Amino acid sequence: MATSDEQLIQSLCNLEIPKTIRISGDRKRVLYSSELTWGHRKGKFAVSTLWLASTGIPDSSVQLTPGLFRDYSPAWSPDGNAVAFISDRAGAGTKWALYLLPLQQGGEAYPITPVENASPIKGFAFSPSGSHIAFLSADEEDSLSTELHAWGESWRYTRLRVVDVRTKHVRTLKLDRHVTGVCWSPDGTRIGFSSCLTPEIEEDYLTGTTISIVDTDLVSVEELCHFPRVIVDLTWVIDGHLYFCAGVPATKIFAGCGVYRTDSSSRDHLYEWAAFGIENDSTGLACDSKGTLLVQVQHRLESRVCLLDGTVLYSKKEELEAFAAEADTNGNFVLAVATSNVNQPAEVFTTYSSGEAPMTKLSNHGNIFAGHRFGTCSFLTQMSSDGEVELDALYLTPASYTSNDTPSQPLPTVVLIHGGPNTRVTNAFNTYYYMLAPYLLSLGFGILLPNYRGSSGRGERFGSYSIGGLGIYDYADLITLTQCAIDKGFADKERLMVGGWSQGGFLTNLCSVRNGSHNGGWRFRAAMPGASICDIDSMALTSDLGSTFEPELSRDGVAWNMDSNDTRNRSASALWGFKDASRRTAAEGESVVPPMLILHGEADLRCHVTQAWGLRRALRSYGIPFELVIYPKQGHFFEDQKYWVDMALRTGRWCEKYIGDRLRYDELSEDSEDEVCYKGIPTLPSS
């Protein structure tokens, strides 16, 4: 029988999160999809559901599809009478097609592309007339293919295809390039698309992206420009330009993110920066039915929807999951947004761009937690230790300890570090990952969420600190913001734990081997690195993005670019910090490296599981308590809910053991010995 903790984390994981949002051209209806957080699954396959709501009418959301399949990425037909979407309803997780759902009473969804296709559809767009849909999918796998992986021999390129909505006839552009994005010209006579040389995951990071246009017969291709890195959200706007989001500067991944454009009528083969990415970051583009470009922007801790000229249509210090907007005849906008805060799970709201317009909640996906308070969110600012920048952080205080938005006493605190590094955290229900924030709040732990240098939302200069600065500025900022939480009376300096995922796990490992090396007079009592990195040099060899991310972050510091005596990456690699930590332990008479709960996916391609193995070997060699949990068949972000639940329960017990109430930990600590758990010193497996 499930414990109350297990029931809570399951309820949190079962929340439906609104994703793609679309407003009808008449601004009266809102269409959206929902799925479990990050599309994870409870059963064998992930599912997604389509919903329809009425603008400005509370709780008007009704279910369009049964929630038995993965029905996602919905789009209005231009006449507003039907909805197109991608689905696997012909074969769960194995067969993919485009479906059309007429919205008149009794309308049933039907496929318009072949239902036997096993290649997922990567994206699609209606022609302005609604007669055709351009979509992206890879060639079907050769029935004679083998399990051999000969690099470059069997690449399956994603192709640009066009289907006639009435006849269901599909045409394909014959081009030996990998197509990554598609959009229609406003007059419907041409199709814009982005492509790179091969389907290799690193290709557009390494060799860039070409933006091209083709006639609707898919015969005559014209190249508009070549961008040096990856791009997203290619959008053709009524002014004749194709817009997209990419790095600022154009040659970097880990700096700012802005909006660029290229002219569809020019033969100069040029692109130009258009907006954002200097003091803030663009994270997505959309276009309303009249051809107005809309930009999703992170502006420090604010989530904004802006016009290209910077006009702010919407702004809140809350995470924005998705948005859509439509202009009325007076130039005002109706907006639909999916947003959340520390006590409100993600819901769909409508509002208006004019004045202080109210927010009307259309959906009710978080009804199970209606009226429940998990805590409060406080925004902290502090100058960096070198005086160069002002830093932001969030402190989440459990509801049981709150008085006037501050704790009634300093709290046992978990410092949770985001990954990326170019992401950021702001007020949200699932502020961190895997629903750990609301779960830990329910256990009575305070949570500090730092936005260190390299985070997004602050533009090029702030983001570029991560380039060549790993383990320097980011680490210093974590210490500064933790000290800030202590000084302001939020965090109890005697009961601190640090944890993080991916890049946050990398920083957790550094905080562990450098523990207490600052002048604050405190140490982390425990650590929880997830999908972490302990050796930068090996990342270049084993990560799926190792030859793109690592050279930039380490300023070409990868093995094939360095002299044999170049050890620059060791200073930011936790494995190389254990020896010094051991010396400090002997000199100070207190263990430097805290007990560590290591969480990792067996099939992680981004941060290979060997990173966890290396960390475990170092900890065991020095006799430091640890638990290593390897989750079978899970990648960089886990897909199976049962492992989300297991990870949350283990995290809660780790917190209770080292910074919480030991009596409660003793009651919960009877672990079953199963295939995912390897418990370290002092208890070793018998095998």
For the chain, domain boundaries: 125-140+157-299, 375-671
Pairing outcome for strands 209-215 and 221-227: antiparallel
**CATH classification of 375-671 is 3.40.50.1820, yes or no?**
yes
Instruction: Kindly report the average pLDDT of the chain as a whole number.
Output: 93
Q: What single letter denotes the amino acid at residue 253? A: I
Q: Is the dihedral of CA 678, 681, 682, 687 positive or negative?
A: positive
Backbone dihedral region of 80: left (phi > 0), alpha (psi from -120 to 50 degrees) or beta?
A: left
Q: What is the pLDDT of residues 297-355, one digit of tens each?
A: 999 999 999 999 999 999 999 999 999 999 998 889 999 999 999 999 999 999 999 76
Q: Is the peptide bond before 421 cis (omega within 30 degrees of 0)?
A: yes
Matching residue, tokens 């990567």? 122
Both structure tokens of 232 = 């997203």
**Which fold, 125-140+157-299?**
Neuraminidase (2.120.10)
Asked if residue 674 has pLDDT above 70, the reply is no
Q: What is the pLDDT of residues 553-589, one digit of tens each?
A: 988 889 999 999 999 899 999 999 999 999 999 999 9
Matching residue, tokens 């300093």? 410
Mean local confidence (pLDDT), 452-461: 98
pLDDT at 444: 96
State how far the Cα of 365 lies from the Cα of 347, in Å rounded to an integer: 7
State how far the Cα of 623 lies from the Cα of 644, in Å rounded to an integer: 29
Q: What is the pLDDT of residues 142-165, one digit of tens each?
A: 766 667 888 988 899 999 999 999
Tell me the pLDDT band of 408, cut-offs 50, 70 and 90: confident
State how far the Cα of 380 lies from the Cα of 395, in Å rounded to an integer: 7
Tell me the pLDDT band of 402, cut-offs 50, 70 and 90: low
